[in-house]
Amino acid sequence: MRTFRALLIVAGLALTGFGLYGVLTDHYIDFADHPFDVLRWAVGGLLLHDGLWLPLVCLAGLAVARSTPVRTGLIVAAAVTAVALPAVLRAGQHNGNPTVLPLPYLRNWLLVLAAIAVLTTIWTVLARRRRRAGEHP
């Protein structure tokens, strides 16, 4: 275990150092003249995720996601939204290349959210019925 950890640390430091060296010296990134370009986006992402998104998730967990079906539905809906939202926002903007973003993304997104809502509702009703059946056999 000790050797394994030591190897991981050496490799981790080497890769981190290599990445840092690349970010700092790549002349397209031009860190010397634009030191805050990448930094601002990396730190900004961290702050938005940990300072805004996760508190919202935790609040949603306290306020609405009380049952397993609702919690599952919200998790899947959040995942779908994270992946689909850029396409929904960007639909139609293809810089003159109509083969980029050719689908009706807003419609597809709403359809998938609706499907998740329907399945969550069915699951909730079934679970409630099963519980009631258990209470009054």
Partner 1 sequence: MDLLRRPPLPTFRSALHEPRTAVVIGRWLGAALLTCFLTGLLSHLLQQPPGWLRDHLPSRPVDGYRVTQGLHVISGIAAIPLLGAKLWTVYPKLFEWPPVRSVPHALERLSIAVLVGSMLLELFTGLLNTLQWYPWPFPFRQTHFWLAWLAVGGLLLHIAAKAPLIAAHWRRVRPGLAQRRSFLTAVTVSVGVVTLTTAGQSVPWLRTLDLFAPRRPDIGPQGLPVNRTAAQAGTTTAPADWQLRVDGPRPLRFSLAELSQLPQFSADLPIACVEGWSAGARWTGVRVRDLLDLAGAPAGAGLRVTSLEADGPYRVMEMPSSYAHDPLTLLALRVNGEVLDPDHGYPARIIAPNRPGVLQTKWVTRIEVI
Binding site for partner 1 (CB under 8 A): 1, 4-5, 8-9, 11-20, 22-23, 26, 28-29, 34, 37-38, 41-43, 45-46, 49-50, 54, 57-58, 61-62, 68, 71-72, 75-76, 78-80, 82-84, 86-87, 90, 93-103, 105, 108-109, 111-112
**54 or 136: whose CB is closer to partner 1?**
54
We find the least distance from the C-beta atom of residue 31 to partner 1, in angstroms, to be: 9
We find the least distance from the C-beta atom of residue 124 to partner 1, in angstroms, to be: 13
> What's phi and psi for 46, nearest 5 deg?
-60, -45
**2 or 136: whose CB is closer to partner 1?**
2
Tell me how far the alpha carbon of residue 119 is from its chain's centroid: 21
Q: What number of residues does the chain have?
A: 137
**9 or 117: whose CB is closer to partner 1?**
9
We find the least distance from the C-beta atom of residue 48 to partner 1, in angstroms, to be: 9
Tell me how far the alpha carbon of residue 19 is from its chain's centroid: 24
Using alpha carbons, list the distances in angstroms from residue 15 to 9, 18, 73, 134. Answer: 10, 5, 38, 57
Q: At what angle do helices 68-90 and 105-135 cross, to 10 degrees?
A: 180
| Cα distance between residue 31 and residue 16, in whole Å | 17
* List of residues 6+ apart from 103 with CB closer than 8 A: 87, 91
**57 or 124: whose CB is closer to partner 1?**
57
We find the least distance from the C-beta atom of residue 121 to partner 1, in angstroms, to be: 16
